[in-house]
Amino acid sequence: MMRVALRNIVLSLCLAAVASAAVPASAAAQGLGVRAGASVDPDQFYFGGHYESRPLVEQLHFKPNVELGIGDDITTLGLNLEFVYKIPIDDSPWRIYAGGGPAVNFYSFNNNSSTEGGLNVLLGAETEQGLFFEIKLGALNSPDVKVGVGYTWR
């Protein structure tokens, strides 16, 4: 039952990301991307995807993402509804950003499963071309720390 619900959620998010990518917009304003990294507590390798909206207000973007974590005798699936505020750096192709948001985390271990709410706070740096590095701190029932790298096609 849990696997069917989980599969439906992932499928819905993928379809929403593909559909929103088909909506015309400025090439530099939004995009789809991939991400990967490592987390602490649970100690895992994770990978996933994200969508970045065009600015909602000046420099503020909605950047929901899905991350699948493997390792530490547990499998996690995090649905993160994050917002990021971007800060340009003068005469540099780099920008820094900070943000966060709520998360829904699905945990599967020893033939058991659990669904928990969480909260993420993040800090990152990105290039104009789409490469980014970020660190996330989790609260409530999110992984404690995530360090990752990714790319957004714009």
Q: What is the CATH number of the domain that holds 119?
A: 2.40.160.20
pLDDT at 154 (0 to 100): 86
pLDDT at 4 (0 to 100): 47
What pTM value is reported for the model?
0.78
Q: Which residues of 43-77 are buried (b: 16+ CB within 10 A; e: fewer)?
A: ebebebbbbbbeeeeeeebbbbbbbbbeebebbbb
Mean pLDDT per 10-residue run, the chain (154 residues)? 48 45 50 97 96 96 98 95 96 96 95 95 96 97 96 94
Using DSSP bridges, classify how beta strands 60-71 and 145-153 pair: parallel, antiparallel or unpaired.
unpaired
Domain tally for the chain? 1
Residue 4 gets the label, from left (phi > 0), alpha (psi -120 to 50) or beta, of alpha
Cis peptide preceding 24, ω within 30 of 0 = no
Task: Give DSSP secondary structure letters for 5-70.
Answer: HHHHHHHHHHHHHHHHHTS---TTT-EEEEEEEEEETTTEEEEEEEEEPSPSBTTEEEEEEEEEEE
pLDDT at 39 (0 to 100): 96
pLDDT at 29 (0 to 100): 65
pLDDT at 27 (0 to 100): 41
pLDDT at 23 (0 to 100): 42
Domain with 70, as residue range(s), is: 2-153
pLDDT at 12 (0 to 100): 47
